[in-house]
């Protein structure tokens, strides 16, 4: 059987409701038939998710000085990165950002803070701020606050949080290479807690950190086992001052293969092309939205600038999709 037919057969199995096996996913991630793979991932996406693209805006509401040592992260206190560091923003400033995100056309607003876990005083301020956003702005509110307890996750649910972001970041077999202050299972635990508490789960990872193809498949399957509603796929943007500052870019084809194969692994999730989109795609991610992705972050990332929302919304319309 030729390779294109192999890819189409797996796609047809998925359209009929079957799951892809680990071995087949690994084979697809090495294929030379990138165009066919992308077309099939797009067909799966359209079949399970229609033509809608989920557009989200992030706010880095507390930046830097994180005690964890994630090697890719310029917000870690272990490295001397020249980012703007600041404590938790006040309620008014955050509500204004949520209003601006809504005006710009975003459907979700994600409030992100660099903590291992939030101190109690900050956590209560965050809950008050979210209550205020829910009163003032018609937008989905998501948060990313580090490790969670069940009780805190319930409090977030009670004030109106829709989705909690907690990425696995790397596969279990590669995790010790990217972080030493916590382990993979710590991350899995919080992901499970937020689901148990009734929040939706946003859980993804980063590729291009020196991992093998097999480890990208492992990461995809580990994420899928948590049944997240949303999966952000980030591509490393090497940050000055971090241990990964000299990491060589992975190829655009490798990125597209990973997006497509993660779509084969997770046919129904929102698969969001996240950090690194503008850096790694000369077309701003148009091909990614035709290769399995059905979401994007607009307006910039935590420590890296991004496109203006108006530019991204225009691109989405131009390729026949909508928000």
Residues 6 or more apart whose CB falls under 8 angstroms from that of 8 comprise 36, 40
Query: Is residue 70 involved in binding ligand SF4 (CB under 6 A)?
Result: yes
Of 4 and 77, nearer to ligand SF4 (C-beta) is: 77
Helix (H) or strand (E) holding 111: strand 108-113
Of 114 and 231, nearer to ligand SF4 (C-beta) is: 114
In Å, how far are 27, 135, 215, 308 from 30, measured between CA atoms? 5, 49, 12, 34
Min dist CB 56 to ligand SF4, Å, is 18
| Interacting positions 207-236 with ligand SF4 (CB under 6 A) | none
- Specify the stretch interacting with ligand SF4 by CB under 6 A; choose among 4-12, 48-56, 62-70, 275-283: 62-70
Report the residue count for the chain.
323
> In the beta sheet, which residues pair with residue 177?
none
Locus of tokens 């870690």: 76
Site string for ligand SF4, 76-115 (x = CB under 6 A): x-------------------------------------x-
Min dist CB 117 to ligand SF4, Å, is 10
Query: Is residue 75 involved in binding ligand SF4 (CB under 6 A)?
Result: yes
Query: Is residue 309 involved in binding ligand SF4 (CB under 6 A)?
Result: no
Number of residues near ligand SF4 (by CB under 6 A): 8
Residues 6 or more apart whose CB falls under 8 angstroms from that of 317 comprise none
Using CB under 6 A, which of 44, 73, 233, 236 touches ligand SF4? Answer: 73
Dihedral over Cα of 17, 235, 161, 295: its sign? negative
CA dist 193 and 188 (Å) reads 9
Min dist CB 66 to ligand SF4, Å, is 3
Of 36 and 171, nearer to ligand SF4 (C-beta) is: 171
- Specify the stretch interacting with ligand SF4 by CB under 6 A; choose among 3-11, 68-76, 83-91, 269-277: 68-76
- Helix ranges restricted to H, the chain: 3-15, 22-28, 34-49, 91-103, 120-136, 150-159, 175-178, 184-196, 213-225, 252-265, 277-280, 286-289, 309-318
Using CB under 6 A, which of 29, 41, 58, 66 touches ligand SF4? Answer: 66
Of 165 and 307, nearer to ligand SF4 (C-beta) is: 165
Of 114 and 188, nearer to ligand SF4 (C-beta) is: 114
CA dist 15 and 11 (Å) reads 6
CA dist 102 and 108 (Å) reads 8
| Interacting positions 123-162 with ligand SF4 (CB under 6 A) | 146
When computed from its CA atoms, the radius of gyration of the chain, rounded to whole angstroms, is: 19
CA dist 61 and 40 (Å) reads 38
Of 15 and 304, nearer to ligand SF4 (C-beta) is: 304
Using CB under 6 A, which of 24, 54, 68, 155 touches ligand SF4? Answer: 68
Query: Is residue 258 involved in binding ligand SF4 (CB under 6 A)?
Result: no
Query: Is residue 193 involved in binding ligand SF4 (CB under 6 A)?
Result: no
| Cβ–Cβ under 8 Å, residues 53 and 316 | yes
Q: Which residues bind ligand SF4 (CB under 6 A)?
A: 66, 68, 70, 73, 75-76, 114, 146
């Amino acid at each position: 059987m030729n390779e294109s037919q192999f890819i189409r057969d797996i796609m047809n199995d998925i359209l009929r409701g079957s799951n892809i096996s680990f071995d087949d996913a690994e084979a697809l991630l090495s294929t030379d038939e990138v165009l066919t793979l992308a077309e099939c991932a797009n067909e799966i996406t359209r079949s399970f998710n229609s033509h809608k693209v989920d557009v989200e805006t992030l706010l880095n509401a507390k930046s830097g000085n994180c005690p964890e040592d994630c090697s890719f992260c310029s917000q870690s206190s272990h490295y001397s990165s020249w980012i703007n560091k600041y404590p938790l923003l006040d309620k008014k400033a955050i509500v204004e950002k949520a209003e601006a995100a809504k005006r710009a056309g975003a459907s979700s607003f994600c409030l992100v803070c660099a903590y291992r876990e939030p101190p109690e005083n900050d956590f209560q301020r965050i809950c008050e701020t979210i209550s205020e956003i829910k009163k003032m702005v018609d937008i989905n509110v998501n948060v990313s606050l580090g490790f969670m307890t069940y009780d805190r996750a319930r409090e977030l649910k009670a004030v109106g949080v829709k989705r909690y972001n907690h990425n696995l970041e790397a596969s279990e077999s590669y995790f010790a290479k990217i972080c030493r202050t916590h382990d993979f299972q710590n991350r899995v635990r919080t992901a499970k807690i937020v689901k148990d508490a009734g929040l939706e789960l946003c859980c993804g990872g980063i590729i291009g950190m020196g991992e093998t193809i097999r480890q990208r498949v492992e990461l995809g399957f580990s994420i899928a086992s948590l049944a997240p509603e949303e999966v952000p796929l980030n591509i490393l943007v090497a940050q000055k001052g971090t241990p990964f500052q000299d990491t060589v870019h992975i190829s655009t084809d490798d990125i597209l293969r990973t997006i497509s194969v993660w779509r084969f692994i997770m046919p129904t999730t929102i698969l969001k092309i996240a950090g690194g989109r503008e850096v790694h795609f000369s077309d701003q991610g148009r091909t990614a939205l035709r290769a399995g992705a059905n979401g994007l972050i607009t307006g910039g990332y935590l420590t890296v600038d991004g496109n203006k929302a108006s530019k991204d919304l225009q691109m989405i319309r131009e390729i026949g999709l909508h928000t």
